[in-house]
Amino acid sequence: MSVKHKAKALIVHCIDFRFQKLVENDLKMRNLKGQTDRISWPGVSKDLENIKKATKVSINLHDPDEAFIYEHEDCGAYGEDNSLETHRQNANALKDYLEKIKPSIKVNTLFVTLDGIKEI
Ligand SMILES: [Zn+2]
């Protein structure tokens, strides 16, 4: 039987290398570096069914109390409709799912641009 390990937070971000440094800095600023489950997935919450499966594993195994969803501008996985509204809708769908499987989790939906990170 394995010992239960608790992650401070669950992080979900895109594979896009251009935004990694910004995400890294944000995690550092939030004092979360090295204390999170991190999922790097093309398009983040656009691929909802797969991202649901991956995030559920994190919640079941490491019971994070907070989640950070990092959507980003100019995402190749989005193709033509890269609007902030579409990113917001997808991030909120993932947020709803996480809150359904763990009602007490605090979910932050964020949008990364080369100018910085804002809440969406
Ligand atoms: Zn992307």
Domain that holds residue 100: 9-119
Examine residue 2 and state whether it is found in any structural domain, yes or no: no
Examine residue 89 and state whether it is found in any structural domain, yes or no: yes
For ligand 1, the distance from its centroid to the CA atom of residue 3, given in whole angstroms, is: 35
Q: Quote the pLDDT of residue 22.
A: 96
Examine residue 102 and state whether it is found in any structural domain, yes or no: yes
Q: Which tokens go with 22? A: 């910004």
For ligand 1, the distance from its centroid to the CA atom of residue 1, given in whole angstroms, is: 38
Q: pLDDT tier at 60 (50, 70, 90 boundaries)?
A: very high
pLDDT > 60? residue 24: yes
d(CA 73, CA 96): 22
The answer to whether 35 touches 11, Cβ cutoff 8 Å, is no
For ligand 1, the distance from its centroid to the CA atom of residue 43, given in whole angstroms, is: 5
Examine residue 94 and state whether it is found in any structural domain, yes or no: yes
Residues 59-86, mean pLDDT to the nearest whole number: 96
Examine residue 4 and state whether it is found in any structural domain, yes or no: no
The answer to whether 66 touches 99, Cβ cutoff 8 Å, is no
For ligand 1, the distance from its centroid to the CA atom of residue 87, given in whole angstroms, is: 11
Residues 85-113, mean pLDDT to the nearest whole number: 98
Q: Would you say the pTM of this structure is higher than 0.85?
A: yes
For ligand 1, the distance from its centroid to the CA atom of residue 75, given in whole angstroms, is: 4
| CATH classification of the domain holding 106 | 3.40.1050.10
The number of domains in the chain is 1
Examine residue 3 and state whether it is found in any structural domain, yes or no: no
d(CA 35, CA 47): 25
